[in-house]
Amino acid sequence: MTKPRVSRQVKIGGFGNIEAVTLGGGLAPVIQTMWKDPLSLSDLDSPEGIILRIRELGKMGCGLLRFAVPDLESAEVLGNLASMVSMPLVADIHFDYRIALRCLDFPIAKLRINPGNIGPYGAKSTRQKIDAILSRAAANFRPIRIGVNAGSLPLDLRRRVDEGALDCAEALVIAAERETAVFDEFGFPDILVSMKASSIADTIRANRLFSERSDVPLHVGVTEAGPLIAGVVRNTAAIVALLEDGIGDTIRVSLSDTMEREIIAGREILLAACDMAGEKPDPSGQGGIRIVSCPRCGRCGFDTHGFTERWQSRFYAMDKNITVAIMGCEVNGPGEARHADLGITGAGEKVLIFRKGKVIRTIDAAEADAAFEEELKKL
């Protein structure tokens, strides 16, 4: 990554039992994801499963976790969950400003709102609603992300885009600048902005244009990016391009897939950006574990796909700066992966575990996971 753009710093959390996360100011981008399921009051009857999963997401490298809050019931549930975990939780709110006000009664660390859909732009009632949100957020020291999406532009901008009088990227920037102007007029500095489109080009251009005009921290990613493979490709193309320009204080890889895979994709994108820039990963962040695995072919003597699937989430939850190799045969085993801190491959009914290209154990296939775990703990 090139030298980051100089954006203002915004602190999220850091009160009660909530961890503090600081964005902007040239710090490494923070990875976030979004909870995939709706919240209901029944979740509070036995919240242990949700709490455990939130903790596991944190171990994998998630710094912020956002929840959709479409109604007051969801606000109550999220507010109670926020008091049970240390990760900063974020409320994503549309349309009803009362939901935002209720969320601010709880230790919810940040709000994400789209002011453009809390009533029509410029209406007096809309400004009153936004002012009410800002007043309470300021009193409770809660930052707000202004989220502008291509699919929910203000009507006047949408009309101009449809007529060909304005391109989508410029419309996203205009919408964001309208809202930041309201926040500036109110004297509310603790804001972030996101401008997302399903188009890679529009996403990149909007963020570049905005970054030239403002020091507000930017959350970047491609919205509605699609299923796993398509979504990772599209997000990588946009996010890496922006990171190369020093743009991006927090990222989300939006996928029609699990939260865990969104986090893994985010970590790998940040690592790839560092590789391209010849830089090392931020030492203050999550461990830089790297998985090297062969794609498998007719020579395969070890089930690389199954082993990788079983171990992937555990690898990314480890705070280790190591390279792990999962190789399918002796051809692509210790020799080609001799740089790995720990590796595993197979030949017939036997499995080989190697370190820095040297075989250290030969075991039966049934013992592979247990033996690998023993060696991993030694690193």
Pair 260, 311 in one domain = no
Q: Quickly state the pLDDT bin for 278 (edges 50, 70, 90).
A: confident
Q: Quickly state the pLDDT bin for 283 (edges 50, 70, 90).
A: very low
The 10s digit of each residue's pLDDT in 66-104 is: 999 999 999 999 999 999 999 999 999 988 999 999 999
Q: What is the mean pLDDT of the chain?
A: 91
Q: What is the pLDDT of residue 108?
A: 98
Distance (Å, whole) CA 315 – CA 338: 19
Q: What is the pLDDT of residue 281?
A: 63
Q: What is the pLDDT of residue 12?
A: 98
In a domain, 328, yes or no: yes
Pair 73, 175 in one domain = yes
Cβ proximity of 192 and 201 under 8 Å: no
In a domain, 2, yes or no: no
Q: For the chain, what's the residue count?
A: 379
Pair 303, 182 in one domain = no
CATH number at residue 362: 3.30.413.10
- Return phi, psi of residue 330, to 5°: -70, -25
Cβ proximity of 218 and 147 under 8 Å: no
In a domain, 223, yes or no: yes
Q: What is the pLDDT of residue 115?
A: 67
In a domain, 153, yes or no: yes
In a domain, 26, yes or no: yes
The 10s digit of each residue's pLDDT in 293-328 is: 888 787 777 888 899 999 998 999 988 889 999 998
Of the residues 243, 277, 311, the one at which a domain ends? 277
Cβ proximity of 247 and 207 under 8 Å: yes
CATH number at residue 28: 3.20.20.20
The 10s digit of each residue's pLDDT in 151-207 is: 888 889 999 999 999 999 999 999 999 999 999 999 999 999 999 999 999 999 999
Q: What is the pLDDT of residue 152?
A: 83
In a domain, 42, yes or no: yes
Pair 168, 254 in one domain = yes
Pair 269, 306 in one domain = no
Instruction: Specify the higher pLDDT residue, 280 or 326.
Output: 326
Q: Which of 215, 150, 139 is nearest to 180 (CA)?
A: 215
In a domain, 3, yes or no: no
Pair 234, 297 in one domain = no
Residue 339, domain extent:
290-377
Pair 47, 118 in one domain = yes
Least confident of 5-9, 139-143, 209-213, 280-284: 280-284
Instruction: Specify the higher pLDDT residue, 137 or 271.
Output: 137
Q: What is the pLDDT of residue 284?
A: 44
Q: Tokens standing for 362?
A: 């030969």
Distance (Å, whole) CA 159 – CA 363: 67
Pair 235, 322 in one domain = no
**Residue that is written with structure tokens 């699937």 in the block:** 309
Pair 87, 125 in one domain = yes
Pair 202, 341 in one domain = no
Q: What is the pLDDT of residue 104?
A: 97
Number of domains forming the structure of the chain: 2
Pair 20, 122 in one domain = yes
Amino acid symbol at 78 = L
Distance (Å, whole) CA 379 – CA 376: 6
Of the residues 253, 277, 301, the one at which a domain ends? 277
Average pLDDT over residues 323-350: 84
Q: What is the pLDDT of residue 191?
A: 97
Pair 224, 92 in one domain = yes
In a domain, 131, yes or no: yes
Q: What is the pLDDT of residue 63?
A: 97
Q: Work out the angle at residue 241's Cα, subtended by the Cα atoms of residues 240 and 247, and round it to the nearest 5 degrees.
A: 85
Of the residues 222, 249, 277, the one at which a domain ends? 277
Q: What is the pLDDT of residue 287?
A: 57
Q: What is the pLDDT of residue 77?
A: 98
